[in-house]
Structure 1
Amino acid sequence: MTKTLLILIFSILVISRASAQQGRAVMGTVADSTGALPGINVKLTSDKDSTVVATSAKGLFSFPSVISKNFKVTVYGIGYQTFVRRYVMDNSNKPILLDPIKLAIESKMLKTVNVVAVNPITIKEDTVEYKASAYKVREGSPVEDLLKKLPGVSVDKDGNVTAHGKQVTKVRVNGKDYFTGDVQTATQNLPADIVENIQVIDDYGDQANLTGIKTGDPDKILNITIQKGKRNGKFGQGTVGAGNDDKYVAKISANAFYEDTQLSLLGTVNNNNTNAFNFGSGSGGSGSGGGGRGGSQSSASNGISTANGITINKSLGFNYRDDWGKKITTYGSYSFADKDRTTETTSQQQNLFQSGAIINNDNTTDKNHSINHRFDFNMEYKIDTANYLKINPSFSYGSSNDINNDIFSNSRLNTVTNGTDNSITNANSPTGGANILYNHKFKKKGRNFSVSGSVNFSKSTSDLDDQYNTQTDSVIVPLHQQINTMNTSQKVNAHASYIEPIGKTTYLEANYTYSYTNTDNNRLNYRFDPVTHVPMYIDSLSTLYNYQFITNSFGLNLRGVKPKYNYTVGLVAKPTSLNGESHNFETSTHTFNLVPTAHFVYNFAKNHTLNFNYSGTNNMPSFTQLQVQPDYSNPQNIVYGNPNLKPEFSNNFTLRYNQFDIASGNSLFTNLTFNETQNKIVTNTQPVANTVLNPGDKKDSTVQETRYLNTNGFYSMGGNYSFSKPFANRKYTVSLMGGATYSNNVSYIEGDRNLSKNLVWNQGAKVRFDLDSIMDTEVSANYSANTTKYSIPSSVNGDARTWTLGLDGRNFFWYDLILGYNLTQTINHGFSSTVKTNPTLLSTYVEYQFLKKHIASLRFQAFDLFNQNTGITRTVSSNQIIDTRTNRLGRYFLLSFTLRLQQFAGGRKGGGFRNGGGGRGGGRRGSFE
């Protein structure tokens, strides 16, 4: 009852408007001698207000809530003389209609200038560009807040960005990688007010960008373009905070931009699950829950972190970009992180068998300390107009110490096996390499030659000390083992491409690719004598394996470029070989594939495109799948490799349809995918006899064995869509989004072929309220279902459903006060009783902004007020369903202070981040319709 009352009071509070904000509406029109002027900037400034808007198609502008009775209006646009006038009004709150403003032509302009209204979205083939000035954000907000307002783009509670149904893997600033492309590092530390536009790009690689020949599966990346007026200056912020339960945070971000020279420094020390760098992995776990990634002081992310476990983080990073003369551009970064993470997990794993499922229940505590270094450098040399060279060396080093304690209970029919598994693992993994790309453009238009190559190495070593004990009935079986593993890999790749024009709009490309991978894996197994506790090397349990994977690709592509469409079609011959040896056993496998390639883009009209792509890829088996010696490290699951495995070959199809209507503002982004894999590497699992209790009898055994083999019949398909419709000049936006994936998984259970048909689908809706100086709020609802059907009869429950209801946003009171909130209710059905929970997550903060231009702020934050933050996930594979519940950061309170500073060329020191304005309501340019 108390929780329900709190939620009711809180909801009433956050959806009400601030009664103390007694502002008035100020409206007007802008025209010239020919009539109304659209797209003209109108700036209102006073001691309490500073906001910029753009006129609508009818020349209208409006400021909905102006507090001061004395203010100045500045009107400016390309080709017109700037208009400036001061206004003094009475003390009433009645709306003000200003006299029509008529602009005079700028006589110094020598060319005709066409002034158009702000176009928020531009769609061109593989790029969707969002105009930042069309989406208002509060002053001091990071780019992440801007991304949340872009149609077709979503940001989860840990800062991971998904655009048009695909996760963004890299971020660039002005076309160059920022902190090696680390997504959250850029989106959560760069201020939104310096952004000109954000591009969502399907990136096929540097070579494709130079030649125009686009094949393979593209990466989804973001390119953030900085406003020209903000490319010369210094900006940054610092935050310090402390709270109950010894919570603390200290963070600094400092940037110096001088046109093409950019220097950035980031550092943080905290124990509230905030990561500065990801080092190639996601920042948090998945599943139900809500919240922000630690709660950046200037961000609207004010919810509960969904990162699994509790983390103490120390991070430092430096990003560099500079032009060494007119021909050489360099950029790179160094990042360091020291993390301590404690994770507590409860899981239930259902393993399907015809003779009865094995149910595994685990309770695990894991303590991990890791250190990571990462260095990346790029040099682009534009030798002349015909020659281009790019060199990219990189290096990283990671080390970790992991202590894992697991208590488990495995059951099957009438047998129950209980046990413990306590392990300590020390590991390190240095990696490094270099990429090089050279491109030459011949004098004949369209004729081009390019060559690229890469050399990479990696080495990982680990020492595992494992004490494993099982008890079935009254029989206890102890196992103390030490496993030392060293894996080294060398990879060499070379690619050459030649393009010859064969017509005015068609080109022929011939290419060749050589790829070589050499892997050595040494796995030494020691068993401790139960009496003397002396380790003894066991050759029959150890593995010494070496294998080489070689691919030669010969390709021919035809490219056509037309006004309405362009295409690339071709054929690739891919012979591959896999050679390996272990314990005097040798194996050799050869395959040959003829792979068609296709890339097609059709432009129906401006901002209306259809994009089709096909690619074929080879995937080599892993060491675990190839090893000859059985792996007994987990006595409950004995793994046998298969050195005769063939490489997989996947056919991948993608169809994208994007449309944006300028008149209505409606946007639609859709994506369809299909994947079919030949020689899919699958498992064959079966129970094995318990050698201690009933040798030769496997009917009641809880022990299983896993073997690998190749098979056909695996395919998956999926689709998603996002539709957004704005109202009242994007003050209100309604969005519908949904998607579904279907997988026809193949496995073998006790030697019989099993089809696991898995369907996952979701449907969501959200409404955004962007009321300047009043509220910035999103209400959302989402329903998802996960259903699995097996061809082999089973009692395993394969259905799970989740409802997620959310309220996330900020309300603005008076001139200096902000109330932020995040409320999420999750309702789960069908999960196992050992992990099921329906958390109600409520997080809020109150922030007071002060000093000139609001450069300083105090924030009091309350995270997870009901202390119910928990992660729940379901993972479905060929014959397994795993439900997992993981601990996450729980209730705490934090008081923090933030100071933001900036200085741009021609500007003044101090002040919050601005976009021609700043001040109350964010100062970003918008439109009025």
Structure 2
Amino acid sequence: MKKFATTLFMVGWVLLSVSSVWAQSTVTVSGWIADENNEPLMAATVVLLQPSDSVMVSFGISNEAGGFTMAKVPTGDYILQMAFMGFQDISQAVTIPEGDEQVELGLFTMQEKTAQLDEVTVTADHIPLLIRGDTVDYNARAFDTETNAVVEDLLRKLPGVEVDADGTIRAQGETVQQVLVDGKEFFGNDATVATRNLPADALERVQVYDKGSEASEFTGVDDGTRIKTIDLRLREDKKNGVFGKVGGGYGTQNVYAGNATVNRFGGGTQFSLIGASNNRNLPAFSMGDYIGFQGGLGALGGGAGGFSMEMSGMNPRNQSGITTSHAGGINFNHEFSESFDLRSSYFFNAAGNLLEWNTLRQSLLTDNAFSTEEGTYRTTGQNNHRGNVRKIWERPERSSLTFSTNVQFGGNRGYSENTSQTLSGEGILQNSQERTNSSEGQNHSVDSRATYRQLFAKPGRMLTFQGNGRWNARGSDLLVYANSRFAIDPTGQAFDTELLDQRQDEDQDEMGYEVSATYTEPLGRGRYLETAYRRGSSLETYRKDFFDRQDGTETLNTELSNGFTKRYITDRVGVSLRINRDDYGITTGVDFLNSQLSAELASDVPLNRSFMNFLPRLSGEYEFTTTKSLNFEYETTLIEPTLQQLQPVINNANPLVTVTGNPDLVPEYRHSVQLGYHSFSQLNFRSLFSMVSATYTRNKITSTQTIDEQFRQVIMPENTGDAWTAV
């Protein structure tokens, strides 16, 4: 016992000694930074480097009083570097001695540069970041990454920047909406293409800032628009030359992943080729390749005819099942002159998914209850081509013309097997079904728009013309086979059987345009009056034919087959007032909207309606500091019923859950209000974002559900009156 106590004492003494030594080996380093007039410098960057290899050990940012602190710094010899915009850098050797928990380095005086440079110049190569206004400028070389790391890996290491698994980037607590490469778009507005394909070692700097709208950047008048943006600035040796990367891997059970990127930059040209392939449930690149190509696949879902799980296996944010993806793309940007810029890209994506799932759903009625058990096996595939071209002609301080075209086309296919049964609250079988669906679909779209802006001699005065034309076409061919049984007595012992064997052809086309003219007049003292007129028109045609199949022959079902047309025309006149001050901005306005809805439905009864509404709006932002702001927004919108919501056509892809439209629907009139507070600390890179929002909707369109005695469901949209929501 005595020997055990002695051993225990020795172990405890050793651990205590080690802890004491460890505690003494790291200290808190502090100091102050001021200018030549002894005024404190806030947001100066301080860094400690190993003298042998210049590896960064610690860094800090000075506060309002010019003080800085670096915690848990190991004792030893270092190189101390300091940087602040507009001042000469400081670089000197320092020693952090042992024996003290805190070490004060004293006051450092920075000398102002004799001339300001337009570009950021940092002579201390390992300063990790600089802060100038609302821009955080990271030095990419100061953050270590692996040899084959991509930009996304680098972003994860930057203080104040977060990257989700799906590639969504948040900086300073806000979602990044745009990623640029040397100030230019890279593969359109798809941020993840740049972050997941450009090598990290190609970057010199990463700049995070709030970008204004194109109109505000052209006129210099703040319109309140803020776009959180990351600009990836290339190293000088990468701006002219060829660079890229190749990676891949192969594992057990034939699992693989591979990607390649080649970039050639120089002479005002950016040219990139990318490619990727994997069967590891990873999206080839981004969400943009999956959106808009669902035609025909909606019927492959579960009990609600695909409405609850539509395309879930194809969604890179919801990696259910086993997904194989292949993708490739080309990006080409070129500056022909200071006044003419061309930006273009083409992208291809193909993906396949295999998914099996089982569900158990409990439903409560007024005087009864029932449960539904369901099992589904599904395979889906899709391919998608999309390209865009953007041309910009600009005469600085005079006029600009922007023309852009986006083209998408692709197809999809799918097959599903589904079994389900519904039990009453007493556990008695009420219905059951075995169903198989197979589909093929295609989708094509073209969207072109042009914007012309003309400035006048008076600063802030501007005339803007905009035009937009679009065309969308979607079609699908669906084969449905369903064997359904329905109980005809309360005990669930006798059943009726219904057999559905159909081919359903569906085609939908939509054409539309929108033109607008906006005039902005400066009123002085930061006030701007804007008047605008906008006219829009859309024409939608829809056709769905049902063919009953029996003994290898098909017969047109005239009762279900239908076609109809819908036209929606809007005329909108508005006026708004913008007030800009140093620390706040307010925009208030009202629009008068006259809308006309006409439709030719399957019932051969024409539908003609017109609506007149006033749509007020109010928004504002208040900046307590450059890193703390309060935002408020109130707006009203009119939401028209969709083509499918109006047409009383039955969707019987799932005989147990049929869906139909409602020609008596009227548009929703929605009031929305939102209040948000955002704070970001440049000292410790902590962010706080809070928001409250509420909506009030008149004539709310809601899908109502009717259940018959055999627990078959019919879903139909209806205007259910007023509705409130708050978050």
Please indicate, yes or no, whether the TM-score normalized by the shorter chain is above 0.5: yes
Number of the residue aligned with 1:579: 598
Please give the residue correspondences for 1:701-720 in structure 2 after superposition, counting only pairs within 5 Å. 701-718=710-727
Whole-angstrom CA distance in 2 between matches of 1:198 and 1:603: 18
- Give the 3-state SS of the residue equivalent to 1:592 in structure 2: strand
- Give the 3-state SS of the residue equivalent to 2:288 in structure 1: coil
1:654 lines up with 2:668 in the alignment: no
Please give the residue correspondences for 1:267-306 in structure 2 after superposition, counting only pairs within 5 Å. 267-278=275-286, 280=288
CA gap of 1:410–1:662, structure 2 versus 1, over 3 A, is: same
**Mapped contact 1:496–1:511 kept (Cα < 8 A):** yes
Whole-angstrom CA distance in 2 between matches of 1:276 and 1:93: 55
The one-letter amino acid paired with 2:536 is: S
**Mapped contact 1:420–1:468 kept (Cα < 8 A):** yes
CA gap of 1:196–1:96, structure 2 versus 1, over 3 A, is: same
CA displacement, residues 347-367 of structure 1 (integer Å, 9 cap, x when unaligned): 234455324344332211111
- Give the 3-state SS of the residue equivalent to 1:179 in structure 2: coil
Please give the residue correspondences for 1:8-87 in structure 2 after superposition, counting only pairs within 5 Å. 39=44, 44=49, 50-51=55-56, 57=62, 79-80=87-88
Number of the residue aligned with 2:145: 139
TM superposition shift of 1:628: 2.7
**Mapped contact 2:356–2:378 kept (Cα < 8 A):** yes
The one-letter amino acid paired with 1:536 is: T
Whole-angstrom CA distance in 1 between matches of 2:159 and 2:548: 58
The one-letter amino acid paired with 2:260 is: I
Number of the residue aligned with 1:509: 530
Identity rate, percent: 22
CA gap of 1:648–1:178, structure 2 versus 1, over 3 A, is: farther
1:610 lines up with 2:630 in the alignment: yes
Whole-angstrom CA distance in 2 between matches of 1:363 and 1:420: 10
TM superposition shift of 1:278: 3.0
The one-letter amino acid paired with 1:582 is: L
Number of the residue aligned with 2:300: none
CA gap of 1:702–1:31, structure 2 versus 1, over 3 A, is: closer
Whole-angstrom CA distance in 2 between matches of 1:576 and 1:568: 25
TM superposition shift of 1:466: 1.1
Whole-angstrom CA distance in 2 between matches of 1:335 and 1:247: 25
Number of the residue aligned with 2:506: 485
Aligned equivalent of 1:380, options 392, 407, 420: 392
**Mapped contact 1:152–1:669 kept (Cα < 8 A):** no
Moved more, 614-623 or 658-667: 658-667
**Mapped contact 1:273–1:305 kept (Cα < 8 A):** no
Compare CA radii of gyration and give the structure with the larger one: 2
CA displacement, residues 825-855 of structure 1 (integer Å, 9 cap, x when unaligned): xxxxxxxxxxxxxxxxxxxxxxxxxxxxxxx
CA displacement, residues 343-388 of structure 1 (integer Å, 9 cap, x when unaligned): 2222234455324344332211111121111101211111342101
Number of the residue aligned with 2:258: 250
CA displacement, residues 144-198 of structure 1 (integer Å, 9 cap, x when unaligned): 4565577887543322346788765554445543322223323333456544322
Aligned equivalent of 1:527, options 544, 548, 551: 548
Number of the residue aligned with 2:341: 329
TM superposition shift of 1:564: 2.7
CA gap of 1:152–1:132, structure 2 versus 1, over 3 A, is: closer
- Give the 3-state SS of the residue equivalent to 1:180 in structure 2: coil
Whole-angstrom CA distance in 2 between matches of 1:444 and 1:611: 30
Number of the residue aligned with 2:438: 424
TM superposition shift of 1:441: 1.0
Number of the residue aligned with 1:459: 473
Number of the residue aligned with 2:665: 645
The one-letter amino acid paired with 2:229 is: L
**Mapped contact 2:515–2:534 kept (Cα < 8 A):** yes
CA displacement, residues 607-650 of structure 1 (integer Å, 9 cap, x when unaligned): 22211112222222222211133333321123332122112222
CA gap of 1:230–1:648, structure 2 versus 1, over 3 A, is: farther
TM superposition shift of 1:537: 0.4
Please give the residue correspondences for 1:822-861 in structure 2 after superposition, counting only pairs within 5 Å. none
Count of residues paired in the alignment: 654
Number of the residue aligned with 1:590: 610
TM superposition shift of 1:206: 4.0
TM superposition shift of 1:489: 0.6
- Give the 3-state SS of the residue equivalent to 1:280 in structure 2: helix
**Mapped contact 2:693–2:726 kept (Cα < 8 A):** yes
The one-letter amino acid paired with 1:412 is: S
CA displacement, residues 678-728 of structure 1 (integer Å, 9 cap, x when unaligned): 22212332223xxxxxxxxx3xx121222222132222121xxxxxxxxxx
**Aligned CA-pair RMSD:** 4.4
Aligned equivalent of 1:340, options 352, 359, 363: 352
Moved more, 218-227 or 506-515: 218-227
1:448 lines up with 2:457 in the alignment: no
TM superposition shift of 1:213: 7.7
User: 1 or 2 for the larger relative contact order (CA 8 Å, sep ≥6)?
Assistant: 1
- Give the 3-state SS of the residue equivalent to 2:194 in structure 1: helix
Whole-angstrom CA distance in 2 between matches of 1:59 and 1:714: 53
Please give the residue correspondences for 1:728-877 in structure 2 after superposition, counting only pairs within 5 Å. none
**Mapped contact 1:137–1:145 kept (Cα < 8 A):** no
CA gap of 1:39–1:524, structure 2 versus 1, over 3 A, is: same
Whole-angstrom CA distance in 2 between matches of 1:309 and 1:123: 47
**Mapped contact 1:165–1:671 kept (Cα < 8 A):** no
**Mapped contact 1:121–1:130 kept (Cα < 8 A):** yes
Please give the residue correspondences for 1:256-267 in structure 2 after superposition, counting only pairs within 5 Å. 256-258=264-266, 260-267=268-275
TM superposition shift of 1:480: 0.7
**TM-score normalised over the length of structure 1:** 0.62
- Give the 3-state SS of the residue equivalent to 2:188 in structure 1: helix
The one-letter amino acid paired with 2:562 is: T
CA gap of 1:593–1:74, structure 2 versus 1, over 3 A, is: closer
Please give the residue correspondences for 1:121-136 in structure 2 after superposition, counting only pairs within 5 Å. 129-133=135-139
Whole-angstrom CA distance in 1 between matches of 2:71 and 2:162: 29
- Give the 3-state SS of the residue equivalent to 2:286 in structure 1: coil
1:185 lines up with 2:190 in the alignment: no
**Mapped contact 1:541–1:631 kept (Cα < 8 A):** no
**Mapped contact 1:83–1:103 kept (Cα < 8 A):** no
Whole-angstrom CA distance in 2 between matches of 1:33 and 1:649: 58
Whole-angstrom CA distance in 1 between matches of 2:317 and 2:465: 45
Whole-angstrom CA distance in 1 between matches of 2:259 and 2:117: 49
Whole-angstrom CA distance in 2 between matches of 1:277 and 1:540: 45
CA displacement, residues 722-770 of structure 1 (integer Å, 9 cap, x when unaligned): xxxxxxxxxxxxxxxxxxxxxxxxxxxxxxxxxxxxxxxxxxxxxxxxx
The one-letter amino acid paired with 2:509 is: T
Whole-angstrom CA distance in 2 between matches of 1:600 and 1:527: 59
Number of the residue aligned with 1:224: 231
**Mapped contact 2:199–2:245 kept (Cα < 8 A):** no
- Give the 3-state SS of the residue equivalent to 2:524 in structure 1: coil
CA displacement, residues 565-608 of structure 1 (integer Å, 9 cap, x when unaligned): 22111111111121110232211122121111112122233322
- Give the 3-state SS of the residue equivalent to 2:197 in structure 1: coil
Moved more, 142-151 or 558-567: 142-151
Moved more, 421-430 or 95-104: 95-104
Which consecutive unaligned segments of at least 5 residues does structure 1 have?
Answer: 1-16, 18-22, 284-303, 689-697, 719-929
**Mapped contact 2:415–2:438 kept (Cα < 8 A):** yes
CA gap of 1:115–1:245, structure 2 versus 1, over 3 A, is: closer
Number of the residue aligned with 2:305: none
**Mapped contact 1:135–1:146 kept (Cα < 8 A):** no
Give the helix-richer structure, 1 or 2: 2
- Give the 3-state SS of the residue equivalent to 2:253 in structure 1: coil
Number of the residue aligned with 2:206: 196
- Give the 3-state SS of the residue equivalent to 1:186 in structure 2: helix
Moved more, 352-361 or 464-473: 352-361
CA gap of 1:602–1:40, structure 2 versus 1, over 3 A, is: closer
- Give the 3-state SS of the residue equivalent to 1:461 in structure 2: strand
**Mapped contact 1:316–1:335 kept (Cα < 8 A):** yes
